[in-house]
Amino acid sequence: MKNPLLKTARYQQAYLYGLTKYVASFFLLLVAITSNSQQVFPEDSWGVYTWGWYSPKNINPEKTPNVKGVPTILKWIDLEPENGKFEFDRLIKKKLEQLHKDDYYTTLMVWVAFSTKEVTEKDTTWAFTPPWLFQNGVPLVEFPATVNPLGKTLTRYFPYYLDQDYKFYFHRMLKELGKYISNLPEHLRERILFVQSAEGSTGDGKPYKGKPVDSKYNISSSQWSDYRIETWKVLVEAFSKDGELQIPLLTNYDSNEEEQYKWMLNNLPKAIGLKNGMFSHGYHISEAQERLANFIDFRKSVESAGKVFFARGEQDAEYRTYKWSTQNIPQGLYWSALYATHGGLTMWNVPWEACDDKENFPAFELFNRYAAQTNPATARFAFCALRSGLDASDTIRFPESIYGKALKKNQQRYINITAAYSQFGAQMSAPAKATGGGMINRKRNGYNDAGWQILPGNYYRHLKQIQPEATSIGWWNIDTSIYGRFARGFDYSDGKNAMYFDIVDDFFANNAQKEKSGIRLKIIYYEGDEGSWELCYHASDQTMKSAIEVNNSGEDKWSEQIITLDDALFNNGGEKGADLILRNKGKTNCRFHLIEVDKGKRFRNN
């Protein structure tokens, strides 16, 4: 389905073309202003960042060549250990000097809560709130013991955020922080890409983890909404100079509702950022379809307002805790990187321990390659990673009469669906974990190839497969290589002998109707499938011309082919409106991992 906004843009271009020279000049000026507004962030800033503890001995350009930077996560208890006495130089300036030396960027966030011990006692690893707050009248809120995502039982304590004393000290700290950052030397200040607002528990968007023992400390959603917006106002004031916000603000997607989105669109200039953890903690996450649709809608609203949209999320320690990842960490991280890319993240925070393992480098290289490529007109790359997801909520693809009642908690339905695809490698190792939300999905000890409202199709950016289920078959767990978790292939016996792909209209922008040279196509395929296939492209002579024909060797490995085109048109001239077509040239079912289009710098609409 084509984006109606693209049609509007093309219409406006055609209309402006016929206007007077004066109006045309004005339009060009407007384009220049818009182009300048996009330079909010350094061009090379997006990609993989570490998460957690930072040491230059472990995170540096030599040991971790794919890392773009590290987060600066400050604990309030360290930042202001005594009432009104701040440790900015020790905690911020020294780190920025090291980051400048290594050419790393950073982000800024202050964790204000929580603690796993009485915060009036000696500081512990998880104590974020300064004890002196509670000695100055701020209520201490106690919670029942709970189990965290890594399986540890914790008893947590929080401050009562709505207390007026708490708000006074909290706002004072933010204002002092903003003042300090504003007065830093430019070469240090420019290392900071954005400030993340952490109003409640760690960087999450909620005030607490659980319900207070004493109900008088409950905080309603409307109260919390007001409190968050009040915090954002303080942050904007704190990080502004001469009335202009100097460093963009990022907020937590999971807690934002219409009121918060409207406030951000109306009050944040130049750039708006969201944290979306459900796109960064692996793949096959429940309720992903609506989440992604809402995320994309807001991104479009930001971009239509002439502002830059950016997003981050972190991979946590689950990658080395649960078997869906631990049985093959490089593969788990690789597909997590693809999922994060498809979800629209521009920054993926990865535990620092994973960043120096060379077996994990392909995952990081992939994310860095595509992270900044969110706008099709300015992007260099378009790609489509081929896979199929078994969405148990889909009663059309999986009728209840065959697979069982479509209820999220119906484990047997998940089992029945994957059993139907077991000949193609589908597995259901932990059905109980598939029936929960994202935090539960992450705890699966094995592969779950069915889920509830998981993404059913390919992971892609600017290159979509046309009718994937009608023209190809999904495969799972082909081998233990990084590519082998998923694939798509021909199904000769069912007449599925061609796969069709559409490059989004705006990818070549003003060059859409022109012949294009120097275009590079990359295709990664499974050599072990005996047979032959052909990749065709829409050429300037209006035919679907063969780019390459391959006879697979039958060797058990994945191979890559790169082809340069000098007469490409890509104007939807193929069958089904395709720009690219993969054709089966034999009677076997060849399988494929990824297709990439690289238009280089010449056709980027910068």
Domain boundary among 340, 374, 408: 374
Number of domains in the chain: 3
CA 330 to chain centroid: 18
State the pLDDT at residue 157: 86
CB count within 10 Å of CB 227 equals: 18
- Residue 511: band (very low, low, confident or very high) from pLDDT cuts 50, 70, 90: confident
**pLDDT by residue (tens digit) across 312-330?**
999 988 899 999 999 999 9
Structure tokens at 166: 């708490």
Percent of the chain whose predicted confidence (pLDDT) is above 90 = 81
Give me the chain's average pLDDT, please: 90
The one-letter amino acid at 113 = A
At residue 202, the pLDDT reads 76
Instruction: Tell me: do 517 and 474 sit in the same domain.
Output: yes
Q: How far is residue 131's CA from residue 113's CA, in Å, rounded to a whole number?
A: 11
Instruction: Supply the pLDDT for residue 226.
Output: 95
**Residue 122 confidence class, pLDDT cut points 50, 70, 90:** low
Amino acid 405: pLDDT: 98
Phi, psi of 474 (to 5 degrees): -80, 150
Please give the structure tokens belonging to residue 247: 């460093």
Q: Are residues 89 and 20 in the same domain?
A: no
Task: Looking at the structure, tell me whether residues 167 and 299 fall in a common domain.
Answer: yes
Does the pLDDT of residue 518 top 80, yes or no? Answer: yes
Confidence band for 245, pLDDT divided at 50, 70 and 90: very high
Q: Are 24 and 157 contained in the same domain?
A: no
Could you tell me if 119 and 91 lie in one domain? yes
75-81 average pLDDT score: 95
Is residue 394 situated within a structural domain? no
Residue 136 CB neighbours (<10 A): 13
Q: 147 or 448: which carries more pLDDT confidence?
A: 448
Residues 348 and 281 in one domain: yes
Nearest Cα residue to 192 out of 265, 246, 251: 246
Of 374, 406, 430, the domain-final residue: 374
Q: Is residue 284 part of a domain?
A: yes
Judge if 469 and 567 occupy the same domain. Answer: yes
Percent of the chain at pLDDT > 70 equals 91
Residue 366 vs residue 28, higher pLDDT: 366
Does a structural domain hold residue 420?
no
Q: Which domain holds residue 24?
A: 1-37
20 in a structural domain: yes
Q: 16 falls in which pLDDT band (50, 70, 90)? A: very low
Contacts of residue 295, defined as CB under 8 A and 6 or more positions apart, other chains included, come to 253, 274, 276, 279, 311, 343, 344
- Residues with Cβ within 8 Å of 168's Cβ and at least 6 positions away in sequence, in order, are none
**CB–CB of 497/490 below 8 Å?**
yes
The three-point CA angle 482-486-487 to 5° equals: 110
The C-alpha angle 131, 133, 134, rounded to 5 degrees, equals 75
The domain boundary residue, chosen from 374, 389, 416 = 374
Q: Cα(113)–Cα(207) distance, rounded to whole angstroms?
A: 9
Q: Is the pLDDT of residue 427 over 50?
A: yes
Query: Do 136 and 2 have their domain in common?
Result: no
Judgement on whether residues 180 and 298 belong to the same structural domain of the protein: yes
* Residue 402 counted as domain residue: no
What's 564's domain CATH number?
A: 2.60.120
Q: Picking from 1-10, 186-195, 244-253, which range would have the lowest pLDDT averaged per residue?
A: 1-10
Residue 269 identity:
P
CATH code of the domain in which 164 resides: 3.20.20.80
DSSP state of 160: -
* More confident position, 29 or 538: 538
Answer yes or no: is 460 within a domain: yes
CA-based nearest residue to 605, from 304, 375, 309, 284:
375
What is the structure's pLDDT at 579?
Answer: 98
pLDDT of residue 32: 36
Asked whether residue 411 is assigned to any structural domain, the reply reads no
In a domain, 8, yes or no: yes
- Cβ burial of 220 (10 Å; 0-12, 13-18, 19+) is exposed
Q: Name the band, by pLDDT with cuts 50, 70 and 90, for residue 510.
A: confident
* 376-402 tens-digit pLDDT: 999 999 999 999 999 999 999 999 999
d(CA 406, CA 398): 9
Q: What is the pLDDT of residue 93?
A: 97
Contacts of 586 (CB under 8 A, 6+ apart): 492, 531, 532, 533
**Concatenated DSSP letters of 321-386:** TSHHHHTTHHHHHHHHHHHHHHTT-SEEEEEGGGTT-GGGHHHHHHHHHHTT--STTT-SEEEEE-
The 10 Å CB-count burial string (b at 16+, else e) for 312-351 is: bbbbbebbebbebbeebbbbbbbbbbbbbbbbbbbbbbbb
Q: How far apart are CA 44 and CA 244, in angstroms?
A: 24
DSSP one-letter string for 431-456:
HHHHTS-HHHHTT-SS-B-EESS---
pTM: 0.90
Phi/psi of residue 206, each to 5°?
-100, 155
Quick one: which of 455, 316, 353 has its CA closest to 58? 353
Give yes or no: residues 204 and 109 share one domain.
Answer: yes
Q: Are residues 49 and 155 in the same domain?
A: yes
SS3 sequence of 42-55? CCCCCEEEEECCCC
> What pLDDT score does 373 carry?
92
Does 356 lie in the same domain as 218? yes
User: What's the confidence (pLDDT) of residue 150?
Assistant: 66
